[in-house]
Amino acid sequence: MIARGVPLPATRAIALTLLLGLSSIAGMARAAPATYRIDAEHFSIGFLVSHIGYERLLGQFLEGEGEFVYDEATRTLGQGRIEIAADSVFTNHDARDSHVRGGDFLAAGRHPTIVFEPTRLVTEDGRHGTLTGDLTLRGQTHPVTLNVTLNKAAVYPFGHQAYTLGVSARTTLSRSRWGMTYGVADGLVGDEVEVLLEFEAIRQ
């Protein structure tokens, strides 16, 4: 319907302007790939490993950082890198922590940084998927696969108030693959190590 008192050419101009505006908004909704930086204050790096079969010992790494490129519209992951300080390992026992930092395990003196570089993300439903990448530990690099869950993607409600992704990731490693064979043969320390990652990543 043509508005009363508005000539036809003017009406077409208004419609064209509205269409261009809507097209611009749609383009903004299809956000381009963006860089996300992990918030160090909300980055939890945990692990579980069998201790003589009596318990699954819970440990942590207290220092880590990372960033990655992610396209939310296409659910594809670009370049990324996560670094963890090997000597920041914490198991709530000073002597054990010193042992884990040493040559039987992390060899943190010679290899101070644990590095994960993602290579491919495959999503199932927009929230769940698998992430493959290369893990460098003790100077050796091997591929790993993590199960990932996108918990939330939204503008943060306070503080930095930036667009933020909340992610959970899990994988299980055989530590002997990276040369950590101490305690495997006699069952003192399990070979399988479950890794748990929880983080918030802020769009830059």
Residues 20 and 57 grouped into a single domain: no
The answer on 35 and 14 residing in a single domain is no
CA 33 – CA 129 distance, rounded (Å): 19
Residue 124 binned pLDDT confidence (cut-offs 50, 70, 90): confident
**Which of the residue ranges 14-23, 113-122, 169-178 would you say has the lowest mean pLDDT?**
14-23
- Specify whether 3 is located in the same domain as 66: no
- ∠ CA 189-191-194 to the nearest 5 degrees? 100
Tally of domains within the chain: 2
Claim to verify: residue 183 and residue 131 sit in the same structural domain: yes
Judging by beta carbons within 10 Å of its beta carbon (0-12, 13-18, 19+), is residue 6 exposed, middle or buried? Answer: exposed
Question: In the prediction, which pLDDT does 115 show?
Answer: 98
- pLDDT tens readout for residues 81-98: 999 999 999 999 999 999
54/104 same-domain check: yes
Residues 101 and 10 in one domain: no
Q: Which of 118, 110, 154, 120 is nearest to 135 (CA)?
A: 118
Domain membership of residue 23 as a residue range: 1-30
pLDDT higher at 24 or 100: 100
pLDDT (tens digit, 9 = 90+) per residue, 175-197? Answer: 999 999 999 999 999 999 999 99
Residues 58 and 18 in one domain: no
Q: Output DSSP code: residue 33.
A: P
Instruction: Evaluate if residue 22 carries a pLDDT over 80.
Output: no
Question: Could you tell me how many helices (H) and strands (E) the chain has, helices first?
Answer: 2, 10
Nearest Cα residue to 48 out of 189, 201, 204, 202: 189
The answer on pLDDT for 75 being more than 90 is yes
Q: Are residues 142 and 173 in the same domain?
A: yes
Mean pLDDT of the region 142-155: 98
Residues 117 and 141 in one domain: yes
With a pLDDT cut of 70, the percent of the chain lying above it is 85
